[in-house]
Amino acid sequence: MGGIRFLERLRQMQRDPALRMAASPEEVLHSVANYVGKILNTRKGSTVLDENFGIPDFTNAGLAFSKEDMPRVEHDIAAFIERCEPRLKHVEVHFTPDQTTPFQMVFSLNAQLHYSGEDVFPVHLVTRVDPLGKVTVTQ
């Protein structure tokens, strides 16, 4: 299930029709990071086709973001990513507070990227949730 997403391949071939070869692992990782950012910025109930698509709006969920709440938030994020991004397996999400940005929630995401057949690469992404709920994903 590796490779870049279908529409990305079409855009790439439109720019250069000679590029019909498989994407590199770096291109696939970039595609995955972009898509994870998109899906994590989708709130549950905001899509017409699937009312379960998206993550809950944790900022309005009545959570105090205490040590008791974090395992549930971590689990919900990891389960959603595994459901929606089939190129990632064994997704683990951990809250990693950053003292330099106290008004952001920072999560480390570790997973396995399944790339073209049997190739598997470890992946580490950092997700930052700003006070307004916008998620940024970096490699």
Q: Give the domain extent around 125.
A: 34-138
Give all strands (DSSP E) within the chain, no chain letters: 88-95, 105-115, 119-129, 135-138
Does 99 have pLDDT greater than 90? no
Does 1 have pLDDT greater than 50? no
Give the model confidence (pLDDT) of 66-76 as tens digits: 677 788 889 98
Does 86 have pLDDT greater than 50? yes
Our count of domains for the chain comes to 1
Q: Is residue 5 part of a domain?
A: no
Q: Is residue 8 part of a domain?
A: no
Per-residue confidence (pLDDT) for residue 130, from 0 to 100: 86
Q: Is residue 63 part of a domain?
A: yes
Alpha helices in 1-139 (DSSP H): 6-15, 25-40, 70-84
CATH number of domain containing 94: 3.10.450.40
Q: Is residue 82 part of a domain?
A: yes
Mean pLDDT of the 88-111 span: 91
Give the model confidence (pLDDT) of 112-129 as tens digits: 998 777 788 999 999 998
Q: Is residue 65 part of a domain?
A: yes
Q: Is residue 72 part of a domain?
A: yes
Give the model confidence (pLDDT) of 8-65 as tens digits: 766 776 676 665 566 777 888 888 999 999 999 988 878 787 887 887 766 655 455 6
Q: At what angle do helices 25-40 and 70-84 cross, to 10 degrees?
A: 120
pTM above 0.95, yes or no: no
Per-residue confidence (pLDDT) for residue 67, from 0 to 100: 73
Q: Is residue 119 part of a domain?
A: yes
Per-residue confidence (pLDDT) for residue 93, from 0 to 100: 96
